[in-house]
Amino acid sequence: MKFEMVMPKMGESITEGTILKWLKKAGETVGKDEIILEISTDKVDSEIPTPVPGTIVELLAAEGETVEVGLPIAVIETDAQIETSVPADERAETVDEKQHQATEAPVKKPAGTKGSAARFYSPVVMNIAAQNDISMNELGTIPGSGINGRVTKKDILAYLKTRGAKQAAAAVQTETAFFGAGEVEVIPLDNMRRKIAEHMVHSKHTSAHVSLYTEVDMNNIFHIRERNKASFKRKQGFNLTYMPFIVEATVKALKEYPLLNAEMDKDDIRIKHFYNIGIAVAVENGLIVPNVFNAEEKSLVGLARAIHDLATRARTKKLQPDELANGTFSISNFGVYGTTVGFPIINQPQVAILGVGAIKKRPVVINDAIAIRPIMYLALTIDHRLIDGAMGSRFLERIRELLEEYDPEMDI
């Protein structure tokens, strides 16, 4: 039976997608839920799995082509029984039997699953792959020493030891082989970078940007993190960072200064009484801002889990476009790269964005004495059409106070 795979519906506001790369060719076999292509929308790049196993008969859309949601992009010859209990807006019809249906939405690859050519990967291997941005396609190239060629933890760790060196050598070889002194390399602007450029210019043209900054003594939170980081890593499986504290303090401050959690709609001010906090995440070819939805309902640990999950899925192209929509306030952590101070551009249609600098030990005056403390600079960019400098300053100082008020003896 021939199955017609369509451009999937990636979110409520998404009507089309651009095919970035086909990972399989006509004539090749694919397993169910195997990643078959990468697509780009105006919000996020995503890896798309095939809904059925079988053999690719034909690729109906070329790389770089933009296709409307619901239109066919590939034909797969399959013996699989196509499920019929899916919503009408998620159905994909077969070529031979139009009455059969299959879900088109991409699914998150479960830990312990089959990949290319029905190859099984254990949860441990899948977790290591996700943490190191190894795609299913790349995972399929790793030689396995386990039963039936299965990739073991030892295999993937050994691969990671040589992976960086090989990539660096390949990059140097490409650079020196094709471009000499005085030559100009021309790189086409990809879809994500083009959209980022459009959004940034739109924001500067829309809002009256004004930036403020303050310094925060992170001593109490530093001690909380030092006391709890080992047990936290053991219980949660990932590192405790400063970001959950910053998000928690920001949400508390937003409740006290609701205009910072608003947007302007022509002659109206729309104040949001919910807190969807966008966390800027650097990805391979740009920056995206997925949201921690209803952050006010989450504990410190819950915020840590949500932030870690968003960052991991953003870097492995597992985010859904809807996770990048309906944010009410955003935070950009450029300090992770060592930058001390920066002034980010507002994420429209929001009216402010918080910039987080690197935490560095500095000499400061405390009770008329010199002390060494971990200091962090916080920057706030506000839309001066709505937020005056006085309100912006009070809001920023309130975040500082909340961060400095954490009990250094608290357990997490």
What are the domain boundaries of the chain?
Answer: 2-108, 123-176, 192-404
Least confidently predicted of 77-86, 179-188, 248-257: 77-86
Lowest mean pLDDT among 111-120, 244-253, 319-328, 345-354: 111-120
Identify the burial level of 127 via C-beta atoms within 10 angstroms of its C-beta, where 0-12 means exposed, 13-18 middle and 19 or more buried. middle
Can you name the CATH fold of 192-404? Chloramphenicol Acetyltransferase (3.30.559)
Per residue, the 3-state secondary structure of 150-212, as one string, reads CCCHHHHHHHHHHHHHHHHHHHHHHHHHHCCCCCCCCCCCCHHHHHHHHHHHHHHHHCCEEEE
Per-residue pLDDT tens digits for 358-394: 999 999 999 999 999 999 999 999 999 999 999 999 9
Give the domain 2-108 fold.
Answer: OB fold (Dihydrolipoamide Acetyltransferase, E2P) (2.40.50)
**pLDDT tens-digit series, residues 102-146:** 333 333 344 344 444 446 677 677 878 888 888 887 888 898 876
Catalytic residue among 89, 96, 133, 388: 388
Of 42, 384, 407, 411, which residue is the catalytic one?
A: 384
How would CATH label the architecture of 123-176? Irregular (4.10)
Query: Quick check: pTM over 0.75?
Result: no
Nearest to 44 by CA among 313, 329, 347: 313
Mean pLDDT of the chain, nearest integer: 85
Beta-sheet strands, E only, within 289-406? 291-292, 329-332, 352-366, 369-383
Confirm whether 205 is a catalytic residue. no
| SS percent in the chain: helix, strand, coil, step 5 | 35, 25, 40
Let me know if 100 is a catalytic residue: no
How many angstroms separate the CA atoms of 409 and 398, rounded? Answer: 22
Q: DSSP letter at 348?
A: T
Sign of CA dihedral 247, 253, 258, 259: negative
Rg (CA), the chain: 24
Token duo for residue 68: 């409307």
Q: Report d(CA 257, CA 62) in Å as an integer.
A: 50
